[in-house]
Amino acid sequence: MRVKALDYENPIAVLRDIYWVGFYDQEADLHCNPYLIIDDEEVLLFDPGSIPHFSVVMRKVIDVINPEEITHVVLSHQDPDVCGNIAVVEDLIGRDDLKLVNHSSLTRLVQHYGVKSPFYEVDKNGGKLELKSGRVLEFLHTPFLHSPFGIVTYDHESKSLFSSDIFGGLSDHWSLFASEDAAFESMSRWHQLIIPSNRVLKDFLQKLERFDIQRILPQHGSILEGSFVPRAIEHLRNLPCGIDLTGGTLP
């Protein structure tokens, strides 16, 4: 469908109401993917990124909406590339009623970034967030994938999974949407680097079975759509990671 070459200097619409506002970390040779969900009255920003890339991410956000319209910032986990700039973003948004959405076990860590906004702790709210439009976001705690305090978000309306570091990829031939089998190779490299074992992956994938997933939007690597979704799940199910590769001992 996408005939025109994508300009990654611009925000890119994944769907009518979901935007990619990511950046390329040249030094780490890593693509980071913050996303926006623009709902009727509310706007959610997923994993706003790092301090050095604050201006790139926010410029792309501003291209789509006024930052003051952002009502929620979802923090999948505590890594500096995921939310190192959260205090600055919070300052730019400048809303008193802004909420930080995360697992309660993450709150303590995120506070070290110097944030002021109240937390919406998903596990204390039935693992769900219902927007004013009735749109339901569901959260799954994903311990040890790779952060003990991480979550992924499933958007019931668009059937999209915002998967944090899971389903991420590491490659020099990056494209925002996975279109070649090489995407699985780059997924292997990434997961074998950061996931402690296949066992934790498998448990997680099992929990995903009850969801109808149309697309996966990871923090790193490429967005998976269509047939790439079941293939990626199958790929990870059989992927030895971390401690599996060292015969059960630490490297």
Percentages helix, strand, coil for the chain, rounded to the nearest 5?
30, 25, 45
Identify what 20 binds: another protein, Fe ion, none; CB under 5 to 8 Å per kind: none
Interface pick for another protein out of 6, 13, 111, 114 (rule CB under 8 A): 114
Alpha helix segments (H runs only) across the chain: 54-64, 80-83, 86-93, 104-110, 182-194, 198-207, 228-237
Residue number with CB closer to another protein (55 or 246): 55
CB 47 within 8 A of CB 34: yes
Least distance CB 61 / Fe ion (angstroms): 19
Q: What is residue 43's three-state secondary structure?
A: strand
Interface pick for another protein out of 85, 147, 171, 219 (rule CB under 8 A): 85
Q: Answer positive or negative: Cα dihedral of 31, 52, 73, 68.
A: negative
- The CA angle 164-168-170, to the nearest 5 degrees, is 140
Cis peptide before 173 (omega within 30 of 0): no
Residue number with CB closer to another protein (84 or 169): 84
Please give the residues from 24 up to 63 whose contact with another protein meets the rule CB under 8 A: 51, 54-56, 58-59, 62
Distance CA 165, CA 83 (A): 13
CB 223 within 8 A of CB 177: yes
Residue number with CB closer to another protein (8 or 144): 8
15 binds another protein (CB under 8 A): no
Contact string 189-228 vs another protein (x = CB under 8 A):
----------------------------------------
Least distance CB 51 / another protein (angstroms): 7
Residue 177 CB-half CA count within 13 A: 16
Interface pick for Fe ion out of 39, 47, 79, 155 (rule CB under 5 A): 79
Residue number with CB closer to Fe ion (79 or 155): 79
Q: Binding segment for Fe ion among 35-43, 75-83, 92-100, 104-112 (CB under 5 A)?
A: 75-83
Distance CA 182, CA 196 (A): 23
Residues that bind Fe ion (CB under 5 A): 79, 165, 219
Residues that bind another protein (CB under 8 A): 9, 51, 54-56, 58-59, 62, 85, 87-88, 91-92, 114
